[in-house]
A and B are shown apart, each in its own frame.
Chain A
Amino acid sequence: MRAIPRRLLSCTAVTAALTLVGGCGLGATNVESATDAGERGPISFVTSDTSGIVPTLIKRWNDKHPREKVTFIELPEDADQQRQMMIQNAQLKTDTYTVLNLDVVWTSEFAANRWIDELPADSFPFDKTLGPINDTAKYRGKWFAMPYASDGAMLYYRKDLLEKAGVEEPPKTWDEMREICDKVLGEQKSKMSCYGGQFEKYEGLTVNFSEAINSAGGQVTDAKGIPHLDTPEAERGMDKLVKSFKDGTIPKDGITFMEEQGRRAFEKGNLLFYRNWPYQYAISDKKAKNNEVAGKFGVAPIPGEKGPGASSLGGHNLALSSTARNKATALDFMRFMTNEESSRLKLEKASLAPVYTKLYDEPEYVRKFPYLPVLKKSISGAEPRPRVVQYGDATKAVQNAAYNALTGKQSSAAALRNLQRQLRELAP
């Protein structure tokens, strides 16, 4: 009984306030209540929080909005579990979860299943962010999320060893990296290997595989989700990784590396170059028992075939659960959580990579986080991971193909052919 009048009311409110195309009635089946602008009240924010910054931000909001309080629902650290809990909430159609903190690769799936609402295009200053970030907030050209935090790959390298060998600049291409390795490692090659990344069979492999393909000028999938792995560029990218494993450029146990294993190997002095996210910077820079690289390493954009490589894009976006209530409050809260002021706090207190371009250039931040200029380059040139609705299947297929090629079970060409076929089936 209550639902009908409220819906009518919100419909008029929406059309009046935002003159949304389609508005209500029949057209509203596509854009189901993009903003129920009439509704305000308590909501919830659903996210994991390893840095402890979320309660501080929520308190700031709650102090200002005593009648629209936000409850913090903390999810486990594991990304798969977060996704599962959010999907469960959507399938039960409860209003427990309001604002969701989504990994950038989930946008398509959540949007296509209508678990999240389309957002009004003017709800977020999309022109002030680093370009590639916005692509992760869109599904089929429409906005479904607001950028919350970003992440990009960097090449960590042993500055001390490079200097000792008379190398002044970190490598920009794969060939340069090989040359530097030959020069620096010389005889001690047995102890130290040239390069490392994440090659265990998990999401990290999708990231590293995509970077290899993109950095060779290829493309895993385009904006529509259509795969393009039957190109010579893709094969060269794949081959580069396969050969690096074969000739020992990447150590043998690299196939078991996730972020942390590789970081430990780098800190122990077993790797000259290591590809990782910015979070490692602070850890490796701290003196510790098993860390011999504190103060001795630098960062650079990851190398590519003919110039700097293209990073995979990490990070999170905020989205609005379609079964939630008080969506007007939710939109305001999402704007608050993603605005510049909050981004500053997230950078200062939790080292979360900001989405706003200008924060990367402020001298005070660059002094505190010396990697920011490199990260800016990395994210500006980054490519999103495959944007497909069934991302879970796509990433499994990618991992299988890459793993088979890296372990020599299949040739690069055969693995890519298989993958092309599998991803084609998942494409629209």
Chain B
Amino acid sequence: MAAFLVSPTLLVLGLVIAYPVLSAVHSSLYSVPDIDPETGFVEKGDPFVGLDNFTAIFSGAGDRFWNAFWNTSFLTGTSVILETVIGLAMALIMHQGLRGRAWVRASILVPWAIPTAISALLWRWIFDSEGIANSMLNAKILWTTEGFQAQVAVIIAEVWKTAPFVGILVLAGLQIISNEVYEAARVDGAGPIRRLWSITLPLVKPALLVAVLFRLLDALRMFDLPYILIGAGKHSVETLSMLAQDEASNVRFGPASAYSVILFLYVFLIAFAFIKLLGADLLGARDEAGGGKGARKRRSRVAGDDRNPQKEAIA
């Protein structure tokens, strides 16, 4: 009966998740047909090549793949770190009982509400050789040309857009922390910095980690921002998604699927490692605080965790 009741959900999941993944894996095993030198026509049917599309990344033709791989990792790493720091700061500001708090919140969230493609176009103007960025810096940097400056441009635009996302999730986490904890700390004579380190950060950590995880998964798929802001085919910002798209648009679905499958595995691995690490980390923090009740805590995940540390902090 239970299986019957969840079967519609399983069916939908199978249709939208399992089928595309399996289909991508399947087509990654095929290559591109040759041109018949006699007629000049492309031969019919894609030849089966097994894992050749995957092993190709370790041969000479793999340069472009590894470049895209490092770009993806580098852009993801730097932008997520910056987003986390800035997003956290934003959340702390939004959480203050300032006058006009609603306005501050709304204005911080504007970048997140703008579609990436549009914000990429906006930043393209800003980073134009005669754009605002150059006139503010009083420099003549050609941002959209190949090189490190293109990566910087992408990171700036990405952080501008997604820091508010981190901010909003962290703000939700901040609002659960009860005021009593802070009052108790103040009575104990803890200054503002001490309160931030010993109360706010540990208590907001579950929400923060979820935000960071989401951002990691999202940033690893980065496509539209570098594609529009810097341009297709610029090697210094080419990500794995862009590489797969380029292969697919040149009607090489085999290699395109292979790159997508690798990206899928990479994202999966990072998410898995992150959740593992996150679990271990929480456990470590708790052992330090009280210890003992490890088994129960290991089972509890991100969402249910915010009550326990609070108690510990009060204690």
| Chain A residues in the interface with B (C-beta under 8 A) | 30, 80, 83-84, 87, 111-114, 139-140, 200-202, 252-253, 255-256, 261, 389-390, 392-393, 396, 399-400, 403, 407, 409, 428
Contacts and interface: CB of A to CB of B under 8 A. Distances in A.
Contact of B40 (A112, A252, A396): A112
Interface in B216-255: 231-235, 246, 249-251
Contact of A392 (B37, B39, B234, B249): B249
A393 B251 CA distance: 11
6 contacts: A114-B41, A202-B232, A202-B233, A252-B140, A389-B35, A390-B250
4 smallest CB-CB distances across A and B, nearest first, come from: A253-B129, A392-B250, A140-B40, A113-B42
Interface of B: 35, 37, 39-42, 128-130, 140, 142, 144-146, 231-235, 246, 249-251
B42 A112 contact: yes
Nearest to A409: B146
B35 A201 contact: no
B142 A256 contact: yes
Contacts of B129: 253, 256, 261
Given A112-B35, A255-B142, A202 B231 contact: yes
Nearest to A91: B251
A30 B41 contact: yes
Contacts of A399: 233
Contacts of B37: 428
Given A30-B39, A139-B40, A255-B142, 9 more contacts: A84-B249, A87-B251, A200-B144, A202-B233, A253-B130, A255-B145, A389-B35, A396-B246, A400-B235
A206 to B, nearest CB: 11
Nearest to A80: B249
A389 B42 contact: yes
A21 to B, nearest CB: 14
A200 B231 contact: yes
A238 to B, nearest CB: 18
B140 A201 contact: no
Contacts of A400: 233, 235
A252 B235 CA distance: 20
A393 B233 CA distance: 11
Contacts of A261: 128-129
A390 B249 CA distance: 11
A253 B42 CA distance: 41
Contacts of B233: 201-202, 396, 399-400
Contacts of A200: 144, 231
Contacts of A30: 39, 41
A136 B142 CA distance: 36
A252 B142 contact: yes
A87 B140 CA distance: 41
B44 to A, nearest CB: 9
A50 to B, nearest CB: 19
Contact of A403 (B41, B140, B146, B250): B146
Contacts of B35: 112, 389, 428
Contacts of B234: 201
A99 B270 CA distance: 48
Contact of A114 (B42, B235, B250): B42
B69 to A, nearest CB: 19
B298 to A, nearest CB: 49
A404 B31 CA distance: 30
A403 B232 CA distance: 13
Contacts of A256: 128-129, 142, 144-145
A183 B78 CA distance: 50
Given A84-B249, A255-B142, A256-B128, A201 B231 contact: yes
Question: Which residue, of B128, B145, B246, has the highest number of chain A Cβ atoms within 10 A?
Answer: B145
A230 to B, nearest CB: 21
Nearest to A108: B40
Contacts of A403: 146
Nearest to B144: A256
Contacts of A392: 249-250
A393 B250 contact: yes
A321 B145 CA distance: 39
B142 A253 contact: yes
Nearest to B251: A87
A93 to B, nearest CB: 12
B56 to A, nearest CB: 14
Nearest to A265: B130
A202 B233 CA distance: 8
Contacts of B145: 255-256, 407
A409 B249 CA distance: 28
Nearest to A392: B250
A10 B213 CA distance: 61
A409 B236 CA distance: 13
Contacts of B39: 30
A299 to B, nearest CB: 25
A109 B29 CA distance: 24
A355 to B, nearest CB: 25
Contacts of B144: 200, 256
Contacts of B41: 30, 112-114
Contacts of B128: 256, 261
Contacts of A139: 40
